[in-house]
Amino acid sequence: MKKVVHRNSTSRILGIGLALMLMFSTSLFAQDGDPAKGKQLFNANCAACHNLDRKMTGPALRGVGDKYEKQWLYDWIHNSAAMVKAGDPQAVAVFEEYNGSPMTAFPQLSEEDIDNIIAYAMEPKPEPAQPAAGAVADAGAAGGSSGFSNNVILAALVLVFGVLVVMLYLVNKTLKRIAEANGIEFEKAEKRLPIWKAFVKNQFLVLVSSIALLLIGAYFAYGYMMQVGVDQGYMPVQPIHFSHKIHAGDNKIDCKYCHSSARVSKTSGIPSLNVCMNCHKNIMEYTGEEDLANGYTKDFYTGEIQKLYKAVGWDANNQQYTGESEPVKWVRIHNLPDFVYFNHSQHVSVAGVECQKCHGPVEEMEVMYQHAPLTMGWCIECHRETDVKMDGNEYYEKIHEELSKKYGVEKLTAAQMGALECGKCHY
Amino acid sequence: MASNKKYWKSVEELNSDSSIVETLKQNEFVQEIPVDEFLGDKENLDSSSTSRRDFLKYVGFSTAAATLAACEGPVKKSIPYVVQPEQIRPGVANYYATAIANGYDFASVLIKTREGRPIKVENNADAKVGGGANARVHASVLDLYDSLRVQSPKSEGANVTWEDLDAAVVKKLNGLSAGGKQIVLLTQTFASPSTLKLINEFSQKYGNVSHVTYDAVAEDAALNAFEAKYGVRALADYDFSKAEVIVSFGADFVGDWQGGGYESGYAKGRVPAKGKMSRHIQFESNMSLSGANADKRVALTPSQQKKALAKFYGYLSGTSVAVDLPENIDAACKSAAEQVKAKGSKAVVVTGIQDENAQGLVLDINEMLSSTAFDKDAPKLLRQGNAKAVAGLVADMKAGKVGALIMSGVNPAYTLPQANEFTEGLKNVDLSVTFSMKEDETSALTTYVAAAPHYLESWGDVEIKKGHFALTQPTIRPLFDTRQFQDSLLKWMGSDVAYYDYLKSTWEASVLGGVSWNKALHDGYFVGGQSVMADQDAVDQMVAAPVNGEADDKEVAGEVTAASVGSMLRALANTPETGMELVLYTKTGMGDGQQANNPWLQEFPDPISRVSWDNYLTVSKADAEVMGLENWHVANGALNGSYVNITVNDVAIKNVPVIIQPGQAKGSVGLSLGYGRTNGLKSVMQTGVNAYALYHGFNSVQNVSIEKAGGEHEFACIQLHNTLMGRGDIVKETTLEIFNTKDAKEWNHMPQVSLNHQETPVTSPDVDLWDEFDRTVGHHFNLSIDLNACTGCGACVIACHSENNVPVVGKAEVRKSRDMHWLRIDRYYSSEETFAADNDKKDNISGVGSSMSEFGEMEDPAANPQVAFQPVMCQHCNHAPCETVCPVAATSHGRQGQNHMAYNRCVGTRYCANNCPYKVRRFNWFLYNNNDEFDFHMNDDLGRMVLNPDVVTRSRGVMEKCSMCIQKTQKTILDAKREGREVKDGEFQTACSAACGTGAMVFGDVNDKESKVAELKDSDRMYHLLEHVGTKPNVFYHVKVRNTNEA
């Protein structure tokens, strides 16, 4: 019996040892965690308030595993408020440092998840992207050198041409001299009426050509005059390099998220800076693709975000507003004359016109420019062609019924609704 | 009947051989281009240093410069908010309910703000407190952007800080509270529960404080009479919509009598419904708005008014009153009394005579009638001034008994009749502070000028009527370093409470009775609950310790006991008649004069005289002939007049211009208050003479001596402008009797034309030269104007100015017929009903006495004319004559009935104006904005803040006109489209129809068969202006009906 007991105890010891070992190994594994999974979890759950290296709504998390006990971290993440209430000194300290704003509880994160996140947070800080900067410098240098070589080649070509001309002249001269020496005589060209005199004498030709000239002149003058004040393609430099391509294109932000007035107002509204800060409170650096040819590097974009912070008075380090703001003086691109009344909400909300119809492929514009000519002819053209969107709009029901009877058509253009009348836009 | 009645707009037109009238009929633009004058002046041309070559050089250079300048477009900046306020959306207007209470005007209003700027005053249609916004209230938004406002507290012309001011004032107040001289608060009528409470607390803190309330234009007699009878210092309220007979002795209740606000109720009773309308009999001296609207107007001097009132009472009560009155006036009194007697409680009598006996008698009469229109239980509180207290204060100041004088909302150095005594007295006051928006006459003399905010930047409350409260809330942050009176009192009491919090707690404690503060603030008014101002107990509760001033008041009140009817009658009957009597009145446009730096109001033509930019002595034609005074028109149609010197009690005013006013009672002259200010005004606004100097004892009637002076005055009178080219039947009117008994064809005749020898109405499509548009689809806007309801108040004129960015052109330009008003209110005079009535009258003369007076009246149509007002704006003709003559198609027609005007397309040929039968088009002779020659609000950045961003400002050389507020109709349509619903009736409004407090103007869609305007269009009274021209306007009028029933 005893023996058995003994054996039993041995096996138990073994079993316990194994279990311990297993446990230890799992916990060892846990301690290591999976930084890749951790990154995913971090971005999904934590990134709204935390950054690894920078203080945001919450503290910077790099090296967080060294600062706190693991168990403390589990508890904190699962329910920080309870810890603060219980009076845990560390918890209270954090809570107070961040102005008494409690951290959202994440009971859904398992301890393993948390370990993964910690693993990600414990990764050493990557070296700054030196090569990228180097690449830019190289690109710049390359650009510079290519410009230089072009000039050299051009100069060489000019020189070669010059030499050729001189040589030709010399050869001609030499040949003439040889010919003279050999007694060959040149045929003297017969003296003819100069062509311009002949032209002047032919009155019909003068008449026709002057009419033609006048017509051509008028055509070009008209063309020139008609584009006075038409600023199609106007692409001014803005005080902050705001890329619609990144916002509307890459990140697929809806136009009306920022230009919300377009739904209800005559102006689309240039977003006020507090709208920018809805996202940029957290997005403080650019991590997307770079356009090295134009010098749009990550640092460049991050610098532009800094300009925003300066304008809105945001202290990114302390995560608070300083109260010192300076409004951004954007350069207005689309300038309708004062005597035209244009209402965005009519087109955006009622007619459901896509912004791109007038503003062009904004989501591809790195720098915003005026896409449409914004001339009256352009407006009228669209009003003639576009059918009014009447479905489901009670306002139009009666009018639609009457008008479709009158014109004998089901669909009605804006023009048929009276959108070509002067007073609809000019008052 | 309407067709053979003769109307005239100016006395000049009665002169059969006036060449100027003929010229004006023929020429739309009176002034010819002075080509001959210029080129014929050889001497001048020779002496000119500019040769033809130079001229060409200048032209060439400027053309080149302009071309070069045009090469590069300007770079426009667009600056968004850093943090956009939640409630502001750029491009969308916000409305806030607030109330104006400036001591003269009290009204609940809505303020339209755009991007945080107040730009327009609208009626608060929901508010059941006070009257609608009048012309001055509509114009008050421009005062906010006055470039001459005091921008920070000042002392002796130099800017000081509020801290310095506070320190100085508190030190002085503390010194005074120890004893010695008294502290006096001299204020406008606030009628504000919170301010009253605050002043009482202030009085407790400093002890010897007295509060004197002062109205520039006093209603002392009425207040005393009411107080004597009912024990409350207030004014009886009237609801004229309930009155079937209204008899007024000198009360301009359609105008500004006792604070105004009665026109809406009055107009309700004036529209004939079910064969009935009210009858209005007016006894008065000056031609007032009320007299102009009356069915019967009796012109008589102020002293005769008192007698007539006594006589009227005699006839009414059956007691005999021995008064000597001319036969026709006596007859009028008798007839009026009989009509009142017949109607009993449905009649009401009012008076504006500044005499306690007259006021007391009228209260008695209304009691006796138990008139339903008369309300003594909820009296109006918007006049509190106490003339005796003010006189006492001036005496105290001269005697050196006043140590500190703190003023708010008053300008006694200008408005007090004994202004020099006040300024003398002010020198004996150690510390004087005035809360003022301007560096006016008073603030030039005080130790400190405390920069006061405009009411659109302030908090406040007012109890307009017992139990009827309104709230004032700021609609913009203070533009300047200003602080309101109440906040300052709090500060000087050592309190840290802001007036807003104080106000809120006062309301929650004493007014609201459990109703939410936010709701009251949102609505802008509150009805019900306990009266604070009128309830003596409530006042006493607040006043723990009696205050000196208040105690004085009570003493005064104690003296005033209701006199017996007999003694009142005797006093009135024994009024001595002495020489020429001067009646001081307030003009619709200027009120008491506190808004004198407002160009809209300066250019606002007086509804009666149609003169802008002036005040003047109104004289009857008979008196003018005796004194040799004249009005005449010069070649370009402008009006000139004689000057007189007038003297009242040794106070003389020299060179007062004279207007010969039809309907002015012989033996009386009129002069308006509110003009002649010199301080705190742009030089162009310093117009007229100061009649306050003649306002002795706050009595509006004075004995005056008049002598003719040399020289001639140039008026800016638009009376003869834009005449009707000799075309008649512009105004159609009839009598209630004919209206009730005859067919509409007889009194609202449709012009006929002959088609195949058949009489055919001009509206028939058979006789139409034009193809008719199909107008059945969509909206078709029409504007209805009821000539019965229109009182001529002019609120619409200012509302139109403000909505449509109409420029102010100045006196000199108005003289040249270049006024820019899109909407004018024509005023027509006529004598008898018809020419036939003249004959009847001649036949019915009986007796020598009657023949003397009535023949006299007939000989002189200007003695007592009937008046009709007619607002005229673009008629938006369906067959518009202007559209066919425009060479560039700048004016064209819209399917919705509006006549469009594309300013940017106009090249300024002015053909359209020449071809317009209604004379409603206006030409921009100059660039009125940004032009130093026209230094009005559009010439500075501050003033331009009032411009409506939805309406373009027109440039020089462009024709403009009423657009039927297309920006508003388009907005309404867009709102409905966005919300996916149909437009409801009443949503469509124009600026004028929204401003119209009387309901005379109704706007809407006639294709909506349920709408009010469609119903009005089907009325028998409907007619179009100049129907026979066949223009088919979209503005229609309703025939004016006069109630001539004597019984």
Residues B184 and B251 in one domain: no
Q: Rounded distance, CA B752 to CA B773, Å?
A: 22
Which residues of chain A does B977 touch, with a Cβ-Cβ cutoff of 8 Å? 346, 350, 393, 395-396
Nearest chain B residue (CA) to A229: B73
Q: Is the pLDDT of residue B959 over 90?
A: yes
Residues of chain A positioned with their CB less than 8 A from the CB of B951: 427
* Beta strand spans in A205-287 (E): none
Nearest one of B268, B222, B261 to B243, comparing CA atoms: B268
Do residues B299 and B623 lie in contact, with contact meaning Cβ atoms separated by under 8 Å?
Answer: no
Between A43-47, B496-500, B537-541, B807-811, the lowest mean confidence (pLDDT) is in B537-541
CA distance linking residue B896 with residue B285, whole number of Å = 47
Same-domain pairing of B303 and B182: no
Strands (E) in A323-373, as ranges, are 330-331
SS3 B923: strand
- In this structure, of A104-118, A129-143, B481-495, B940-954, the range with the lowest mean pLDDT score is A129-143
Measured between beta carbons, the chain A residues lying within 8 angstroms of B90 are: 261, 265, 267, 269
CB contact under 8 A, A423 and B90: no
B693, B587 Cβ separation under 8 angstroms = no
**pLDDT per residue over B678-715, tens digit each?**
888 888 889 999 999 999 888 888 899 999 988 889 99
Using a CB-CB distance cutoff of 8 angstroms, which residues of chain A are in contact with residue B777? 399, 402-403, 406
Q: Determine what percent of chain B falls in helix, strand and coil, rounding each to the nearest 5.
A: 35, 20, 45
Q: Which single residue is written with the structure tokens 């909206």?
A: B779
> Is the same domain home to B524 and B640?
no
Closest CB from B70, B894, B905 relative to A421: B894
Write the ipTM: 0.82
Question: How far is A284 from chain B, CA to nearest CA, in Å?
Answer: 18
Could you give the CA distance from residue B114 to residue B802 in angstroms, rounded to a whole number? 13
- CA B546 vs CA B143, B506, B550: distances in Å: 38, 20, 7
Could you tell me whether strands B374-380 and B209-213 are parallel, antiparallel, or unpaired per DSSP bridges? unpaired
Q: Are residues B213 and B229 in the same domain?
A: no
Cβ distance A395 to B904 less than 8 Å, yes or no, reads no
Measure the CA–CA gap between B755 and B955, rounded to whole angstroms. Answer: 46
CB contact under 8 A, B82 and A228: no
pTM of the model: 0.83
- Cβ of A421 within 8 Å of Cβ of B892? The answer is yes
Domain holding B520, by residue range, is 154-218+385-541
Same domain, B670 and B796: no
Average pLDDT value for residue range B283-292: 92
3-state secondary structure of B283: strand
Which segment of A23-37, A232-246, B275-289, B954-968 scores lowest on mean pLDDT? A23-37
* Domain's final residue, options B715, B742, B763: B715
Rounded to a whole number of angstroms, the CA Rg of chain A reads 38
DSSP state of B802: H
CA distance A213 to chain B (A): 24
Assign residue B628 the CATH number of its domain: 2.40.40.20
In a domain, B255, yes or no: yes
Look at residue A32 and give its three-state secondary structure. Answer: helix
CA distance A218 to chain B (A): 18
Residue B494, in any domain of the structure: yes
Residues B363 and B286 in one domain: yes
Kindly report, residue by residue over B1009-1045, the tens digit of the pLDDT: 899 999 999 998 999 998 888 888 999 999 999 888 8
Which of B78, B890, B892 is nearest residue A270 as measured by Cβ atoms?
B78
Q: Which of A266, A273, A339 sits opposite B904 (nearest CB)?
A: A339
- Domain count for chain B, please give it: 5
Cβ atoms of residues B985 and B1006 within 8 Å: no
Size of interface A-B (CB pairs under 8 A): 154
Q: Return the pLDDT at B1023.
A: 92
Q: What are the residue boundaries of the structural domains of chain A, listed by start?
A: 35-122, 190-228, 244-373, 375-426
Instruction: Report the gap between the CA of A335 and the closest CA in chain B (Å).
Output: 8
**How far does Cα B77 stand from its chain's mean position?**
41
Residue corresponding to tokens 């002595």: B617
- Residue B839 pLDDT greater than 70, yes or no: no
Residues of B in contact with A311 (CB under 8 A): 82
Contacts of A309 in chain B (CB under 8 A): none
- Give the pLDDT of residue B552: 39
The closest of B627, B731, B643 to B689, measured between CA atoms, is B643
Determine the residue among B72, B75, B84 to mutate to test chain A binding: the one whose Cβ has the most chain A Cβ atoms within 10 Å: B84
Q: Which distant-in-sequence residues (6+ apart) come within 8 Å of A271 by Cβ?
A: A258, A259, A260, B80
Residues near A126 by Cβ (< 8 Å), separated by ≥ 6? none
Mean pLDDT across chain A, nearest whole number? Answer: 82
End-to-end CA distance of chain A: 110
Q: Which two three-digit tokens encode residue B384? A: 């509190």
Q: Of B8, B13, B11, B21, which is closest to residue B829 (Cα–Cα)?
A: B8
Residue B484's CB is within 10 A of a number of other CB atoms, namely 23
Same domain, yes or no, for B184 and B232? no
**Residue B88 included in any domain:** no
Full pLDDT tens readout for chain A, 427 residues: 444 445 555 555 555 555 555 444 444 444 567 888 888 888 878 877 787 777 777 788 888 888 888 888 888 888 888 888 888 888 888 888 877 777 888 888 888 888 888 888 888 877 654 544 444 444 444 444 455 678 899 999 999 999 999 999 999 999 988 888 888 776 766 777 788 888 888 889 999 999 999 999 999 999 888 887 788 889 999 999 999 999 999 899 999 999 999 999 999 889 999 999 988 988 888 888 888 888 888 889 999 999 999 999 988 888 888 888 898 999 999 988 889 999 999 999 999 899 999 999 999 999 999 999 999 999 999 999 998 888 888 888 888 888 888 878 888 888 888 889 999 999 8
How close B117 gets to chain A, by Cα (Å)? 17
- Helix, strand, coil percentages, rounded to 5, for chain A: 60, 0, 40
pLDDT at A197: 85
Nearest CB to A426: which of B91, B903, B953? B903
DSSP bridge pairs for B1003: B783
Residue with the two structure tokens 């004194």: B627
Identify the pLDDT of residue B1028: 86
DSSP assigned state of B436: E
pLDDT range class, residue B32, cuts 50, 70, 90: low
Check whether residue B199 and residue B265 sit in a common domain. Answer: no
Tally the C-alpha atoms within 13 A of residue A353's C-alpha that lie toward its C-beta.
21
| Interface contact A427-B951, CB threshold 8 A | yes
Whole-number Å distance between alpha carbons of B45 and B39: 7
Note the pLDDT of residue B966.
Answer: 93
For residues B370 and B506, membership in a common domain is answered with no
Of A330, A350, A399, the CB nearest to B78: A330
How many C-beta atoms lie closer than 10 Å to residue B395's C-beta? 12
Judgement on whether residues B355 and B464 belong to the same structural domain of the protein: no
Q: Is there a contact between B81 and A327 if contact means CB atoms under 8 Å apart? A: yes
Using a CB-CB cut-off of 8 Å, the residues of chain A touching B75 are 236, 331
Lowest mean pLDDT among A158-172, A373-387, B602-616, B738-752: B738-752
Q: From CA B447, how far away is CA B434, in angstroms rounded? A: 8
Helix axes A111-122, A2-32, angle to 10 degrees: 50
Q: With 60 as the cut, is the pLDDT of residue B376 above it?
A: yes
pLDDT score, position B162: 93
Instruction: Using alpha carbons, select from B878, B875, B927, B886 the residue that is nearest to residue B909.
Output: B886
CB contact under 8 Å between B75 and A331, yes or no, is: yes
Q: Do A265 and B970 make contact, defined as CB atoms within 8 angstroms?
A: no
Which of A224, A238, A395, A404 best tests the B interface by mutation, with the highest count of B CBs <10 A?
Answer: A395
Closest residue in chain A to residue B114, using alpha carbons only: A265
Yes or no, beta carbons of B80 and A272 under 8 Å apart: yes
Identity of the residue in A346, A392, A418 whose CB atom sits nearest the CB atom of B974: A346
Domain end position, chosen among B663, B681, B715: B715
Amino acid at B937: H
B968 → chain A, closest CA residue: A427
Residue from B72, B77, B82, B882 whose CB has the most chain A CBs within 10 Å, to mutate: B82
Q: Residue B965: closest CA among chain A residues belongs to which residue?
A: A427
User: Same domain, yes or no, for B162 and B24?
Assistant: no
Domain A35-122, CATH:
1.10.760.10
- Chain segment B508-528, per-residue pLDDT in tens: 888 888 889 999 999 988 888
User: Is there a domain that residue B947 lies in?
Assistant: yes
**Is the confidence at residue B669, as pLDDT, over 90?**
yes
For residue A324, give the chain B residue with the closest CA.
Answer: B82
| Torsions phi, psi for B667 (to 5 deg) | 90, 0
Chain A residues closer than 8 Å to B978 by CB: 264, 345, 349-350
Q: Determine the distance in angstroms separating the CA of B886 from the nearest CA of chain A, rounded to an integer.
A: 14
CATH number at residue B290: 3.40.228.10
Contacts of A236 in chain B (CB under 8 A): 75
The one-letter code for the residue type at B900 is: H
- pLDDT at residue A417, rounded to an integer: 84
Res B467 pLDDT > 90: no
Chain A contacts of B912, Cβ < 8 Å? none
Chain A residues with beta carbon closer than 8 angstroms to that of B952: 338-339, 426-427
* Contact call for residues B328 and B229 (beta carbons, < 8 A): no
Q: Do B91 and A426 touch (CB under 8 A)?
A: no
Contacts of B89 in chain A (CB under 8 A): 261, 264-265, 269
Contacting residues of B for A345, CB less than 8 Å apart:
974, 978
> In this predicted structure, what is the pLDDT of residue A382?
93
Quick one: pLDDT at residue A11?
55
> Is the CB of B82 less than 8 angstroms away from the CB of A311?
yes
Contacts of B902 in chain A (CB under 8 A): 339, 422-423, 426
Which residue of A313, A329, A349 is in closest CB contact with B79?
A329
Same domain, B780 and B667: no
HSE-up of residue A6 (Cα within 13 Å, Cβ side): 3
Chain A residues touching residue B950 (CB < 8 angstroms): 266, 341
Shortest alpha-carbon distance between residue A100 and chain B (Å) = 25
Q: State the nearest Cα–Cα gap between A339 and chain B, in angstroms.
A: 6
Lowest-pLDDT choice from A312-321, B149-158, B919-928: A312-321
Count CA within 13 A, CB hemisphere, residue A226: 11
Question: Do the Cβ atoms of B375 and B468 come closer than 8 Å?
Answer: no
Tokens 């009296």 sit at which residue? B379
Q: Is the pLDDT of residue B835 over 60?
A: no
Is a pLDDT exceeding 60 seen at residue B557?
A: no
